[in-house]
């Protein structure tokens, strides 16, 4: 069955430290991959997407993600967390359907 | 111009009532999606339109849920005889092409509370 796993339901980092949000997918072939962010009371916003052109994808607000086929992973990273990064993050895979992961809540401590 | 809009933003219904949720996609967007997001969970796919054609409704949880997009633009999600388990945020998204890599633009959602 096609699925997407976000290994951490909640991640807490200090401001200025690196962020790592993990995502793994299950598939016998490479799907389309996306990361979305959802701030409280706001709509979902696309951070970045993997389109098979390059394994390292750069997104908005300093985020990037690396597609690793051998590990079926698409982890989201940022070198230095900012207070405004506190939000819910969703890893999304698209096969014939769009499947959202359960989400990771990111807290940033001043 | 504007992004995806949804109305109402909040809806409270008594159990057994029918509700209708509206989505205005970005002008010219061919594809339209509906999702259901329960509290503390990720959105779950409900149904998908390409223009006026409903190509996938496999995510609709029961025959009480019905969606339409008669002119290929505005869409309505209708829930008949609402139940408490229908309480969730209903998200609409639109996309400019069918291409699999294309970004979906999401509306702010309609928060439905069934008492």
Q: Tell me: the pLDDT tens digits for B54-103?
A: 999 999 999 999 999 999 999 999 999 999 999 999 999 999 876 555 78
Nearest one of A24, A35, A34 to A2, comparing CA atoms: A24
For residue B95, give how far its alpha carbon lies from the nearest alpha carbon of chain A (Å). 12
B3 Cβ under 8 Å from any chain A Cβ = yes
Cα(A33)–Cα(A67) distance, rounded to whole angstroms?
9
Residue pointed to by tokens 């996938």: B56
Show which of residues 26-85 on chain A sit within 8 Å of chain B, judged by CB atoms.
32, 34, 36, 41-46, 49, 51
A24 forms beta bridges with A5, A73
Chain B residues lying within 8 Å of A43, measured CB to CB? 3-4, 91, 106-109
Q: What is chain B's Cα-based Rg?
A: 13
Q: Report pLDDT digits (tens) over B14-54.
A: 999 999 999 999 998 999 999 999 988 899 999 999 999 99
Q: Span A47-59, mean pLDDT?
A: 87
Q: Is B44 in Cβ contact with A45 (below 8 Å)?
A: no
Mean pLDDT value across chain B: 92
Give the angle subtended at the CA of B83 by the CAs of B80 and B88, to the nearest 5°.
95
Give the angle subtended at the CA of B66 by the CAs of B33 and B102, to the nearest 5°.
10
Q: Report pLDDT digits (tens) over A10-39.
A: 999 999 999 999 999 987 677 789 999 999
Per the document, the length of chain A is 110
* Plot region of B40 (φ>0 → left; ψ -120 to 50 → alpha; else → beta): left
> What pLDDT, on a 0 to 100 scale, did the predictor assign at position B98?
61
Q: Tell me the backbone φ, ψ of residue B85, rounded to 5 degrees.
A: -70, -10
């Amino acid at each position: 069955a096609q699925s997407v796993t976000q290994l951490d339901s909640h991640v807490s980092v200090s401001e200025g430290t690196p962020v790592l949000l993990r995502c793994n997918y299950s598939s016998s072939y490479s799907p389309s991959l996306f990361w979305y962010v959802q701030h409280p009371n706001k709509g979902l916003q696309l951070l970045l997407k993997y389109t098979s052109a390059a394994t390292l994808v750069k997104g908005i607000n300093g985020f990037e993600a690396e597609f690793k086929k051998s590990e079926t992973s698409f982890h989201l990273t940022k070198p230095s967390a900012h207070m405004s990064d506190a939000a819910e993050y969703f890893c999304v895979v698209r096969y014939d359907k769009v499947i959202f992961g359960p989400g990771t809540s990111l807290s940033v401590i001043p | 111009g504007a992004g995806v809009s949804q109305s109402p933003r909040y809806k409270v219904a008594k159990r057994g009532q029918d509700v209708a949720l509206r989505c205005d996609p970005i002008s010219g967007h061919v594809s339209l999606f509906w999702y259901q997001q329960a509290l503390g969970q990720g959105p779950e796919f409900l149904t998908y339109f390409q223009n006026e054609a409903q190509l996938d409704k496999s995510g609709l949880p029961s025959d009480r849920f019905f969606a339409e997009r008669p002119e290929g633009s505005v869409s309505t999600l209708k829930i008949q005889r609402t139940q408490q388990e229908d309480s969730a945020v209903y998200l609409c998204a639109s996309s400019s092409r069918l291409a699999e890599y294309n970004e979906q633009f999401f509306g702010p959602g309609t928060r439905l509370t069934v008492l």
